[in-house]
């Protein structure tokens, strides 16, 4: 069953080509949300498929459910990459790890170690998860005869640079600026067959992102917006917005990078004053258009992008 559509369609000016074509990479927004618990926007996560490989970037709330809706068994993921260790980006990881280990091939049946790449602190997190779920691991291995190899996690803590290069698919991590205490935080560039997808991760405007995003076919970028009256009186909202990129700032980034298509995800439309309410998607588009007139899409969960000589956009309702 399709989710209710909450995205603004591509505007006519600079619209991306939505005709059918051969794609080099397929990008699926599994979750476009934030820590706010919303049924229409699950936790942040992006699936990139290229060269027969399935790469997952971040693993927020509900990602295993979205993977199942997208008909991608958790046990068939090639590797998982984390941008940073905020809870909303990793809270789905135990579910992905353990449910993907279960025997049912429709959603699990992982018989090999899960490969996990992330910033400093990732190995400690994995060690703590193994301790937290030690009883589950012991019981299922004995009772359900699940292979212990499928419950292993091979962890690599990364720095800026090429972190993955296999079968023609290259993943480059680059540092971004998510605030003083959230270091390192990464964005990712994925290159395959002459085409490029760039994922910003959570960040404020940062020159390093613009440098690594040059030549991108698809730029998937975070965004945060609050109403001016609300931000003027709420210190908590001010702190949130100070860690992210406003739509006006994002527009300037898009104008400099000039991707075939810019896409919003991790969409913060925040309100700390119930009387004011949050900004709308229409407000987000209008603010972006004050600094950018090129191809733009507001992402929604399970929206898919086929990236080749052109970029095509498919809502979940259009899936076969």
Q: Write the DSSP symbol of residue 43.
A: S
Strands 195-199 and 185-192: antiparallel
Provide the sign of the torsion angle of the four alpha carbons 191, 210, 67, 164, taken in this order: positive
- State the catalytic residues: 88
Structure token pair of residue 248: 């006006």
Task: Name the pairing type of β-strands 53-57 and 311-314.
Answer: unpaired
Location of structure tokens 């820590």: 35
Residue 109, Cα to own-chain centre: how many angstroms?
24
> Alpha helix locations (H) across 190-234?
207-213, 228-233
Q: Among the residues of the chain, which ranges form H helices?
A: 63-69, 87-90, 93-99, 122-132, 134-143, 207-213, 228-233, 235-242, 247-257, 281-289
């Amino acid at each position: 069953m399709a989710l209710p559509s909450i995205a603004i369609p591509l505007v006519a000016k600079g619209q991306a080509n939505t005709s059918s074509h051969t794609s080099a990479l397929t990008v699926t927004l599994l979750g476009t949300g934030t820590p706010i618990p919303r049924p229409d926007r699950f936790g942040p996560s992006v699936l990139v498929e290229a060269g027969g490989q399935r790469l997952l970037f971040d693993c927020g709330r509900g990602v295993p459910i979205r993977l199942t809706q997208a008909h991608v068994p958790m046990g068939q993921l090639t590797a998982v990459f984390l941008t940073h260790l905020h809870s909303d980006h990793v809270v789905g990881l135990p579910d992905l790890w353990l449910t993907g280990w279960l025997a049912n091939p429709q959603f699990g049946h992982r018989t090999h170690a899960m490969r996990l790449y992330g910033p400093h602190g990732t190995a400690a997190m994995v060690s703590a998860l193994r301790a937290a779920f030690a009883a589950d691991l012991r019981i299922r291995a004995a009772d359900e005869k699940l292979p212990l190899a499928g419950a292993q996690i091979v962890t690599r803590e990364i720095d800026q640079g090429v972190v993955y290069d296999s079968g023609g698919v290259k993943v480059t991590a680059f540092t971004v600026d998510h605030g003083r205490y959230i270091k390192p935080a990464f964005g990712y560039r994925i290159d395959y067959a002459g085409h490029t997808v760039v994922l910003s991760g959570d960040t404020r405007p940062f020159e390093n992102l613009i440098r690594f995003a040059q030549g991108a076919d698809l730029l998937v970028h975070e965004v945060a917006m609050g109403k001016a009256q609300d931000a003027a009186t709420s210190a908590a909202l001010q702190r949130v917005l100070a860690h992210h990129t406003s739509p006006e700032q994002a527009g300037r980034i898009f104008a400099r990078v000039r991707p075939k298509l810019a896409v919003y995800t991790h969409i913060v439309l925040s309100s700390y004053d119930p009387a004011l309410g949050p900004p709308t998607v229409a407000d987000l588009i209008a603010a972006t258009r004050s600094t950018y007139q090129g191809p733009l899409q507001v992402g929604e969960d399970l929206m898919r992008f086929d990236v080749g000589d052109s970029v095509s956009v498919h809502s979940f309702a259009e899936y076969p």
